[in-house]
Amino acid sequence: MNVSKHKSCFCYTCNKSFHFHGINRHRSRHRDKKEDCKIRYTNGDIYTFNYSADKKESDK
Ligand SMILES: [Zn+2]
């Protein structure tokens, strides 16, 4: 994967790319809506956030 040179993140849930400055805010929107989201960060790491299964794990 050669995505790390681009300063962009990608939300697989929305199928949209985001500036790395905006991705945390975007993730918060999913959290607020209790939606699962899968996000690729600038370093190429992909994380899945299970916000729909929320309640037990509170946001740190
Ligand atoms: Zn999204």
pLDDT confidence of residue 7: 72
pLDDT confidence of residue 33: 96
CA of 44 relative to ligand 1 center, distance in Å: 16
CA of 52 relative to ligand 1 center, distance in Å: 14
CA of 8 relative to ligand 1 center, distance in Å: 13
pLDDT per residue as tens, the chain (60 positions): 444 455 799 999 999 999 999 999 999 999 999 999 999 999 999 999 999 986 655 555
Cα gap 4→13, rounded to integer Å: 20
Q: Are 35 and 51 in contact (CB under 8 A)?
A: yes
Question: Domain boundaries in the chain?
Answer: 3-49
Prediction pTM value? 0.76
CA of 34 relative to ligand 1 center, distance in Å: 12
